[in-house]
């Protein structure tokens, strides 16, 4: 059995796709998990885990759930592009409660951020961790805000946080874009383990993608936590390279389909360099 976190770990979004993967994988490492979600946990409860149904916008309940925890793995909330009014409460207010809980408990936050924080970069631009945000919708804006909140809580309160800009973490590579952004469940689980157990992290951004030769992303904070992806989307290149949408906006940008949702430009945007030269 590997190292164990010194204190229990709170996992939000436990009933979601990635939450279920993490609940199973981390429980198998012997971790003491407190699982929570607004939806019931659909699987048998893993050993050493408890589950509480709760809404992220119930601040009192979130503070109570985090009591005694050393790490909050924050995977709950709206996970796709939705109207602003739907994103607002879980992803903005809910995230504030997560950080307040972390401040009170002197806990670390591991935040499921997203590639949609930078979705409007062209696909041939290689990005490092410190590029300016170019979110591709309200969901992406909420994730950029989450990262900024982490920065503020680190500077002001010493709350450590690791922001995982997850690409596409799903069981299979199902289109050409996923060849660039795939994060296997095994690499995700190892990433979360390192982000939790690494002795000191400060505030970090890490690109959540496996070792894909077509990847969009470069430098980040992975060396600080000692994580290296072990898997790759490359074996799926022959099968998926031609699996494109035919939509020029979707195919131009790293964020793919999310960029097209509600898109109302009549002229294509000029190629912009950030920061402007
Ligand atoms: N799966 C990916 O490829 C991917 C990529 C980038 C980022 N992410 C992020 O990772 C996290 C998990 O993603 P996922 O694919 O498992 O998404 P998911 O939608 O399957 O899981 C999100 C969970 O959050 C819960 N939730 C929603 N609103 C809530 C509320 N008000 N209170 C409490 N719980 C609430 C949902 O019930 C759901 O179980 C999300 O934050 C998502 O934005 C995922």
Domain of 42, CATH number, reads 3.40.50.720
Evaluate whether residue 266 is within a structural domain. Answer: no
pLDDT confidence band for 275 (50 / 70 / 90): low
How many Å apart are CA 98 and CA 59, to the nearest integer? 8
Evaluate whether residue 272 is within a structural domain. Answer: no
Look at residue 273 in the predicted model and tell me its pLDDT: 59
Evaluate whether residue 265 is within a structural domain. Answer: no
How many Å apart are CA 51 and CA 40, to the nearest integer? 9
Say if residue 2's pLDDT is above 80: no
Q: Output the six-digit token pair for 85.
A: 């009014």
Say if residue 6's pLDDT is above 70: yes
Say if residue 23's pLDDT is above 80: yes
Look at residue 244 in the predicted model and tell me its pLDDT: 98
Say if residue 148's pLDDT is above 70: yes
Q: Supply the residue whose CA is at minimum distance from atom 38 of ligand 1.
A: 16
Among 133, 142, 122, 182, CA closest to 56: 142
Q: Supply the residue whose CA is at minimum distance from atom 19 of ligand 1.
A: 79
Evaluate whether residue 67 is within a structural domain. Answer: yes
- Mean confidence (pLDDT) of the chain: 97
Among 240, 185, 234, 193, CA closest to 212: 234
> Does the CB atom of residue 56 touch ligand 1 within 6 A?
yes
Which atom of ligand 1 is closest in space to residue 37's alpha carbon?
34
Q: Are 62 and 34 in contact (CB under 8 A)?
A: no
How many Å apart are CA 100 and CA 64, to the nearest integer? 11
Which atom of ligand 1 is closest in space to residue 56's alpha carbon?
32
Domains held by the chain: number: 1
How many Å apart are CA 260 and CA 56, to the nearest integer? 29
Evaluate whether residue 235 is within a structural domain. Answer: yes
**Block residue for tokens 């009591």:** 67
Look at residue 270 in the predicted model and tell me its pLDDT: 80
Look at residue 267 in the predicted model and tell me its pLDDT: 83
Say if residue 1's pLDDT is above 70: no
Which atom of ligand 1 is closest in space to residue 76's alpha carbon?
24
Report how far ligand 1's centroid is from the alpha carbon of 79 (Å): 4
Report how far ligand 1's centroid is from the alpha carbon of 196 (Å): 19
> Does the CB atom of residue 57 touch ligand 1 within 6 A?
yes
> Does the CB atom of residue 142 touch ligand 1 within 6 A?
no
Evaluate whether residue 273 is within a structural domain. Answer: no
Report how far ligand 1's centroid is from the alpha carbon of 105 (Å): 23
Report how far ligand 1's centroid is from the alpha carbon of 157 (Å): 26
Q: Are 158 and 151 in contact (CB under 8 A)?
A: no
Least confident of 172-176, 202-206, 245-249, 263-267: 263-267
Distances (CA, A) of 266 to 249, 263, 269: 12, 9, 9
Look at residue 241 in the predicted model and tell me its pLDDT: 98
> Does the CB atom of residue 114 touch ligand 1 within 6 A?
yes
Among 184, 188, 180, CA closest to 234: 180
Evaluate whether residue 4 is within a structural domain. Answer: no
Look at residue 41 in the predicted model and tell me its pLDDT: 98
> Does the CB atom of residue 186 touch ligand 1 within 6 A?
no
Q: What is the pLDDT of residues 53-82, one digit of tens each?
A: 999 999 999 999 999 999 999 999 999 999
Which atom of ligand 1 is closest in space to residue 166's alpha carbon?
6
Look at residue 138 in the predicted model and tell me its pLDDT: 99
Say if residue 276's pLDDT is above 60: no
Give every CB contact of residue 235 below 8 A, 6+ residues apart in sequence. none
Which residue among 75, 146, 189, 216 has the greatest number of ligand 1 atoms within 8 angstroms of its CB, and so is best to mutate?
A: 75
> Does the CB atom of residue 256 touch ligand 1 within 6 A?
no
Domain range for 41: 9-260
Catalytic residues: 139
Among 63, 68, 42, 38, CA closest to 52: 38
On the CB side of 46, CA atoms within 13 Å amount to 21
Q: Supply the residue whose CA is at minimum distance from atom 15 of ligand 1.
A: 17
Evaluate whether residue 160 is within a structural domain. Answer: yes
């Amino acid at each position: 059995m590997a190292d164990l976190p010194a204190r229990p770990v709170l996992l939000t979004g436990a009933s979601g796709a990635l939450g279920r993967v993490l609940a199973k994988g981390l429980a198998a490492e012997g971790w003491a998990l407190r699982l929570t979600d607004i939806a019931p946990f659909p699987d048998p409860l893993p050993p050493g885990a408890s589950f509480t149904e709760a809404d992220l916008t119930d601040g009192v309940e979130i503070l109570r759930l985090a009591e005694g925890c050393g790490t909050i793995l924050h995977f709950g909330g709206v996970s796709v592009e939705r109207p602003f009014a739907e994103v607002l409460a879980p992803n903005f207010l809910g995230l504030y409660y997560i950080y307040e809980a972390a401040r009170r408990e002197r806990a670390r936050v591991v935040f499921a951020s997203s590639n949609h924080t930078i979705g409007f970069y062209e696909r041939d631009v290689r990005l490092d961790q410190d590029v300016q945000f170019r979110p591709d919708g309200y969901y992406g804006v909420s994730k950029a805000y989450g990262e900024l909140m982490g920065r503020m809580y680190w500077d002001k309160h010493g709350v450590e946080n690791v922001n995982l800009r997850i690409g596409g973490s799903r069981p299979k590579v199902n289109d050409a874009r996923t060849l660039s952004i795939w994060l296997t469940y095994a690499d995700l689980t190892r990433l979360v383990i390192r982000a939790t157990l690494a002795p000191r992290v400060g505030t970090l951004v890490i690109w959540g993608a496996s070792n894909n030769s077509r990847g969009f992303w470069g430098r980040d904070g992975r060396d600080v936590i000692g994580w290296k992806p072990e898997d790759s989307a490359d074996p799926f290149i022959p099968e998926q390279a031609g699996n494109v949408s035919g939509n020029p906006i979707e195919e131009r940008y790293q964020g793919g389909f999310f960029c097209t949702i509600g898109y109302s430009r009549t002229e294509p945007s000029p190629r912009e360099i950030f920061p402007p030269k």
